[in-house]
Structure 1
């Protein structure tokens, strides 16, 4: 069977488009208007189905705030979200360079690492997956090498108990970095359960450095039974730190991870499926190195007769490099004016900043209600958080959530999608059936593999195209299609028709057992699972097998591990090995005007930019330290050195690219 894909994308934007790019081959893009707000692009013929199609849109004036107003549905209930216009405002701030660089060597960085037993599980179930604690150790290596000289740091491990590398945070230098890296290598997932409250209390009770703002990084793959108490604790110390949280795997608590970042004015990240931990953590480090934005306010100025109902939660954090969206519902009708104004104010390093945006109240052309649905999703998530926090009117909040979900077609913890026959508008009933669809190529091999969770979105789309789908309040009827999971990546009811794959410690549902299951967690499997073909090795004894080959070391991590705290490298055999050279080859090519460390550091920079540019987000701070160190050595003209280094390593990198 021959499969072909034809794809044409039309992009409409309120601000000028700079260019469109893709990881796949595209035909030349076409712009429809001189203001470059609309463009179309086609996928070139011959797509090989060997990777997902990704389209990247680049805008002009990226850091300027923008707003777009979307018309509602005239048939919706008066006063409802779907009836009134909705405005979406986008903030993407850019801070002055002098402010960004002034705090480069300041800060106290505390890394709190989950060392419970579940951290001994695999990151995912694909071939070559890394153990979670090992990935965390590699991440700590990158973090420790990326910290600026003169800051303070400490590392904690927690489980049923907790321990720290140092009694108090220590100044970052070569000696303390070496001590920490030695302890990182010894870390294991050997500390029992997941108890995070006590280590947090201990950290918050320690004296903090006023001149070194505290940045707390929390890594966990589990859940806790006292989430509200933990979040209240983080909130009560929000004045003294920022909290950056990371949920590892599908079992991490979304309420805990997002809540800690929200209450701690930080940023939350989830590492799921085949995501790599390092890029996401280094992005958060980039945020942590930025100065804190405080006293954020948003004010609306609208014509007489028009009022605004803000749907987004109050903004308590802004980062350069992160977009912030504000949704608001516009009520009433203007008595004459056609323009509104929104003003955002905040303080950055004690300096007041004001951003003011004028926008047209006239709604844009038909956009498919996408902005309304995004606004509804934002409001639903806020209501879910309000419910979890123990609000008084729980029933009223639930009723409001269900109403919004059904009207907007956006799921919530109290609703689910079910299959509906498009012609009869009747719910599809009957037993679940599994159907094998013959396919070719690697694109759809997931249907025949073991990672069912990662295909839930595909199975939902398949059911949706066959029957259509509507959200309803979860009832016994909807539960007939399977259980509803409120995890960050919730499975749809339809996805259970294909079975499920669960690597968390929680027991699997009856629906997943009906098709056989494999649970890789440390928790014991329920006895029922044995009747469906699950394999529990301890019952049968271990069979002798050939030992797995030693995993190859990542050259990037090898290079990073050799860097000194100051940012330089030594010219030796271990560095030459990373480049696939001998120490003599590196030494013999060294220009006479530079010493060994400068030459080694220059080669490391050339190799990073020439051979690992696709992983730049991971080594960007390592490279910045290296370039800064070279600049401090007051070496003469380095242009010839860069040319020699390029020839030696087979690269084509310019001196300007290296930042030296």
Structure 2
């Protein structure tokens, strides 16, 4: 499949994006991220600058504004088609306009259009989003700022046109990046680790509950900014009640308090002592061209470690895939010395030489295989996630979720968070990101331990609230729970009561024939001033849940929740128009696409010069097939 990538401007250096400043506020296990993008038009004609960039797949984009001189324009969330028409109309009439939307194919890719930027004019774009921090195998919280954007392979016959990604080697990225993060928690910040070069951790108080993390100068865009935060005694059940927005109408999502519940279930010891040694383990390994180099080595090492750790007597099979797919056995085989040795030899010889990334075909073949009685199926997927049909893949896993659990591994820098986390969430499993050998072993063993745990069934969340207070869930029903691993539940609290100030929630489930209940009491009064972080994360969770439903009638509800909460969705976009500008742009615009950082050696050697073929700025690329 053809990707479009490379430097865009005719003279290769007139890229209008000059720098990015990122400020992060980490509050316990939630992060608020503010990115400011500085643009400057050094050309002699007005331009439209287009920048395609990654964000975490579960991020809630909640604020977007532009500043030209001393004028600030705050964007609104609108129906995407309406916003696009308003943007085009503004450009046609010579007004400055700004348009931000997420990709139709993958929710972790956004496109920002800066329209009608006059010659010698500068502007700053402010983008804010909130995101949850994942819990690592060693108890650390993982924060990742994606800066690497890899081209997404669009399989033949799949819907849509794919995501147009412009990528260049890290050394040629023409804009700068500065990064800092403030960390605060009720508990002591023990340490912050990262493979990126950071300045020494700076504590802001004697209790060490507040600290500052800064990226050292010279970040080369060859890796995402990833660091791990460790709190003292951090992972305990907790509930955060956040007040509604002042002056908002009570009874609305933003007007009512919102609750974020962190569940850390503890399974009975009698059940955990009888962890299953049975199961059918199916491994799906990406051997497409984009996996060349360190990625295929990391995926091989991960798979070899898992193979050597399987319990004797279980069943297993290994699928390789690229443009085609092939299993090493015609069907899943019993795991013994003979089959293990054959598998280890086979995996050790695997290379990234199978073309494109056609993940749907092997998944369909796996799901067509009859499950083995008494051997619960566990699917492990290893991929860099560079596909343009992310939603189709996740939908297929969701459709078959009753027959298996899916554990996913994102391999290398720039792996699609939307695909990796989506596979695990819809498959009732767990997602891991492998960006280096130093953290691989604990992550691999954690996923295997989760897979060996008996599947939790009949999960319910039951609320006990004072009379006059009701709850409306914003999270979909829990479909997977693992021992000691956090699950988050969001809900809207409506009404008031004079009878009590506390509420109670019970998470009940069946585990290996045992009925288990975990209870948590919490105060109904807001616990802290967190702005609207919990509301926005809850709205994002609700939007994602509605989007995953195939009912086309839910679009109206998604747009309603998106506009009310100010959180983006696949059916809405942010639009800002500088209607007060006295300067009207005359004549056609030149379009300039901003190249993003790419690290995969498979496409580093390619540079493509895209030149506008018409005054409207339509770009015609020289085609290159990265899937062959």
Aligned-residue offset at 1:236: 5.2
Which residue of 2 is the match for residue 22 of structure 1? 192
1:519·1:525 contact (CA, 8 Å) conserved in 2?
no
1:151·1:172 contact (CA, 8 Å) conserved in 2?
yes
1:223 alignment partner, one of 387, 406, 418: 387
Aligned-residue offset at 1:414: 4.2
TM-score normalised to the size of structure 2? 0.57
- Take 1:161 and 1:312, find their aligned partners in 2: how far apart are those partners? 37
1:310 alignment partner, one of 449, 454, 473: 473
1:403 alignment partner, one of 540, 563, 566: 563
Which residue of 1 is the match for residue 275 of structure 2? 103
Matched, 1:121 2:204: no
- Take 1:49 and 1:503, find their aligned partners in 2: how far apart are those partners? 19
- Take 1:96 and 1:530, find their aligned partners in 2: how far apart are those partners? 67
1:21·1:57 contact (CA, 8 Å) conserved in 2?
yes
1:120·1:131 contact (CA, 8 Å) conserved in 2?
no
Which residue of 2 is the match for residue 324 of structure 1? 487
Which residue of 2 is the match for residue 145 of structure 1? 308
CA deviation digits over 1:61-94, x for unaligned, max 9?
Answer: 834x221211112222343222111111110123
Which residue of 2 is the match for residue 241 of structure 1? 404
Alpha-carbon spacing, 1:497–1:426, altered in 2? closer, same or farther (3 Å): farther
3-state SS in 2 of match to 1:380: helix
Gaps of 5+ in 2: 1-177, 194-198, 220-224
Which residue of 1 is the match for residue 553 of structure 2? 393
- Take 1:155 and 1:191, find their aligned partners in 2: how far apart are those partners? 15
Aligned-residue offset at 1:27: 6.7
1:8·1:40 contact (CA, 8 Å) conserved in 2?
no
* Bigger share in strand: 2
Structure 2 matches for 1:312-461, cutoff 5 A?
312-386=475-549, 389=550, 391-404=551-564, 407-408=565-566, 410-416=567-573
Matched, 1:68 2:225: no
Alpha-carbon spacing, 1:281–1:307, altered in 2? closer, same or farther (3 Å): same
- Take 2:333 and 2:379, find their aligned partners in 1: how far apart are those partners? 15
- Take 2:364 and 2:580, find their aligned partners in 1: how far apart are those partners? 55
Which residue of 1 is the match for residue 229 of structure 2? 56
CA RMSD of aligned residues (A): 4.7
Aligned length: 431
Which residue of 1 is the match for residue 56 of structure 2? none
Structure 2 matches for 1:107-256, cutoff 5 A?
107-115=279-287, 119-121=288-290, 130-220=293-383, 221-223=385-387, 228=392, 234-235=397-398, 237-248=400-411
Which residue of 2 is the match for residue 500 of structure 1? 596
Indicate the structure whose relative CO is greater, using CA pairs within 8 Å and at least 6 residues apart. Answer: 2
Please identify the structure whose Cα radius of gyration is greater.
1
2:609·2:621 contact (CA, 8 Å) conserved in 1?
no
- Take 1:232 and 1:47, find their aligned partners in 2: how far apart are those partners? 37
- Take 1:373 and 1:530, find their aligned partners in 2: how far apart are those partners? 42
Which residue of 1 is the match for residue 603 of structure 2? 520
- Take 2:333 and 2:391, find their aligned partners in 1: how far apart are those partners? 30
Matched, 1:77 2:253: no
Aligned-residue offset at 1:242: 1.0
- Take 2:466 and 2:404, find their aligned partners in 1: how far apart are those partners? 41
2:502·2:523 contact (CA, 8 Å) conserved in 1?
yes
Gaps of 5+ in 1: 33-38, 124-129, 432-479, 483-495, 505-517, 539-660
- Take 2:582 and 2:563, find their aligned partners in 1: how far apart are those partners? 19
3-state SS in 1 of match to 2:603: coil
TM-score normalised to the size of structure 1? 0.55
